[in-house]
Amino acid sequence: MRGEELVGFLHADVSGLLRGRSVPDSELEERIGAGVGWVPADQALTPFGPIAEPNPWGSTGDLRLLPDRDSEVRVDLWEDASPLHFFLCDATNTDGSPWDACPRTLLKHALSWLEEETGLRLISSFEQEFVLEGPAFEPGPGFSFEAQRLVEPFAPLVFAALRQAGLAPETFLPEYGSGQYEIPCSPAPGLFAADRAAAMREVVREVARTLGYRASFTPMVAPGGVGSGVHIHMSLVDPEGRPAFYDPDRPGQMSLLAARFAAGILEHLPALCAFTAPSVVSYLRLGPHHWSAGFGTMSEREREATIRIPPLVELSGGDPARQFNLEFRAADATACPHLALAVLVLAGVRGIREELPEPPLMEGDLSELDDEERRRLGVKTLPASLEEALRALEADEVVRSWVPDDLLECHIGVKRTEISLLQGLSLEEACERYLRVY
């Protein structure tokens, strides 16, 4: 029984979850111009349910969720389940004017600012890891082909679903962690890269659900385990599409512009983490020896750096200039992709504008050095907890100035409420709570 086809008008909120309402597909054309009703305080929903109090709106006000036609996802693979059909939306005022606490709108502003300041556009992709769970599911060894075949037909179905959704999957890989997988999707222009990240999670969850698994993108399934990251790849191109981040004659083969973009991010890193790694368990993943982001540094190929320069492949005539990108690794799926990308871009633009000094390219295991030596080398540390990241945000006037007041107040309120909702729970229990939601 498939019933009537419904189309979701959805919005990635500060918790990084897609929320919204659905309309009948048969009325889509009449509905798409005016969207569906929404409530400002919905932005203040914590991942665990309760609305953060106080929040800037209380019980007052009305919004619309207004779909972007270019973000449509429709997957029709199931005989006994209706198509997975949705659009990503901007949250707007009822007259259609931008609502200034909408993360997708903030990303649009950040991308326009980038273009005004530099004449360049952002190309990005989000690499997102997740785990599959199911009753009696015995995961195979890390990276093994068996780990892929054990969940058959998950891989071919999720690939077909992501392709139908227009999300351009590239490869399917069993990851290192138990039951952990990853499906990189092709890079896209800034706004659509964040849309793709949000949509990809929903498609993966749906395919998992139809096969009796649950997919979770939580940053840490259990304390001391293997983390699931979201690695945000970024590069800039000029109006003709020519890459602006590559320079074969400079250290790391990165242009001065790319180095300054990275410098802006590293300069504001602790405050940015409040948006890119915004959960209590995010900080079980960050830190040395997790292959996530050990310190606030930049390195070539090093998987412990916050900004990694991935390898350039020259096989089969690959063009290094087009491949060159910066990979930001201190992010996870508890972040709203639009909000995370917006603040990274704004920090990068600031680095370019202020001509910040290029960060050094680090090598080796920096955890083996003592604090003094790390300070001498300019190695920055990452926040050790969500509370520390929030305090860094409160102390960073520059980052605060980028985020509209209501959105900032709401974000900090949601995150502090989230911390208080977990008070008294063990780390195991906290991981369990996030595992159920993400």
Residues engaged in binding ligand GLU (CB under 6 A)? 129, 226-229, 285, 290-292, 303, 329
| The entry of ligand GLU, Mg ion, none that residue 415 binds, CB within 5 to 8 Å by partner kind | none
Nearer to ligand GLU among residue 107 and residue 284 (C-beta): 284
Rounded CA separation 133/305 (Å): 29
Nearer to ligand GLU among residue 10 and residue 204 (C-beta): 204
Rounded CA separation 33/323 (Å): 38
Q: How far is the CB of 324 from ligand GLU (least distance, A)?
A: 18
**Residues of this chain that bind Mg ion (CB under 5 A):** 182
Q: How far is the CB of 182 from Mg ion (least distance, A)?
A: 5
Nearer to ligand GLU among residue 51 and residue 298 (C-beta): 298
| The entry of ligand GLU, Mg ion, none that residue 201 binds, CB within 5 to 8 Å by partner kind | none
Q: How far is the CB of 332 from ligand GLU (least distance, A)?
A: 7
- Write a three-state SS string for the chain: CCCCCEEEEEEECCCCCEEEEEEEHHHHHHHHCCCEEECHHHHHECCCCCECCCCCCCCCCCEEEEECHHHCEEECCCCCCCCEEEEEEEEECCCCCECCCCHHHHHHHHHHHHHHHHCCEEEEEEEEEEEEECCCCCCCCCCCHHHHHCCCCHHHHHHHHHHHCCCCECCCEECCCCCEEECCECCEEHHHHHHHHHHHHHHHHHHHHHCCCEEECCCECCCCCCECCEEEEEEEECCCCCECCECCCCHHHECHHHHHHHHHHHHCHHHHHHHHCCCCCHHHHCCCCCCCCCEEEEEECCCCEEEEECCCCCHHHCCHHHHCCEEECCCCCCCCHHHHHHHHHHHHHHHHHCCCCCCCECCCCHHHCCHHHHHHHCCECCCCCHHHHHHHHHHCHHHHHHCCHHHHHHHHHHHHHHHHHCCCCCHHHHHHHHHHHC
Nearer to ligand GLU among residue 55 and residue 292 (C-beta): 292
- For helices 337-353 and 103-118, give the axis angle rounded to 10 degrees: 20
Nearer to ligand GLU among residue 7 and residue 281 (C-beta): 281
| The entry of Mg ion, ligand GLU, none that residue 227 binds, CB within 5 to 8 Å by partner kind | ligand GLU
- Which residue has the closest beta carbon to ligand GLU? 229
Task: For residue 48, give every residue at least 6 positions away whose Cβ sits within 8 Å of its Cβ, in sequence order, or none.
Answer: 418, 421, 433, 437
| The entry of Mg ion, ligand GLU, none that residue 291 binds, CB within 5 to 8 Å by partner kind | ligand GLU
Q: How far is the CB of 41 from ligand GLU (least distance, A)?
A: 33
Nearer to ligand GLU among residue 329 and residue 374 (C-beta): 329
| The entry of Mg ion, ligand GLU, none that residue 85 binds, CB within 5 to 8 Å by partner kind | none
Nearer to ligand GLU among residue 98 and residue 225 (C-beta): 225
Q: How far is the CB of 171 from Mg ion (least distance, A)?
A: 11
Q: How far is the CB of 396 from ligand GLU (least distance, A)?
A: 24
Q: How far is the CB of 266 from ligand GLU (least distance, A)?
A: 18
Nearer to ligand GLU among residue 69 and residue 289 (C-beta): 289
Q: How far is the CB of 126 from ligand GLU (least distance, A)?
A: 12
| The entry of ligand GLU, Mg ion, none that residue 302 binds, CB within 5 to 8 Å by partner kind | none
Nearer to Mg ion among residue 182 and residue 387 (C-beta): 182
| The entry of ligand GLU, Mg ion, none that residue 178 binds, CB within 5 to 8 Å by partner kind | none
Nearer to Mg ion among residue 182 and residue 300 (C-beta): 182
Token pair of 423 as six digits: 């008070």
Which residue has tokens 């138990």?
178
**Residue 200: which of 217, 177, 179, 219 has the closest Cα?**
217
Q: How far is the CB of 341 from ligand GLU (least distance, A)?
A: 17
- Which residue has the closest beta carbon to Mg ion? 182
Q: How far is the CB of 278 from Mg ion (least distance, A)?
A: 20
| The entry of ligand GLU, Mg ion, none that residue 292 binds, CB within 5 to 8 Å by partner kind | ligand GLU
Token pair of 249 as six digits: 């004659």
| The entry of Mg ion, ligand GLU, none that residue 303 binds, CB within 5 to 8 Å by partner kind | ligand GLU
**Residue 399: which of 262, 300, 270, 299 has the closest Cα?**
270
| The entry of Mg ion, ligand GLU, none that residue 118 binds, CB within 5 to 8 Å by partner kind | none
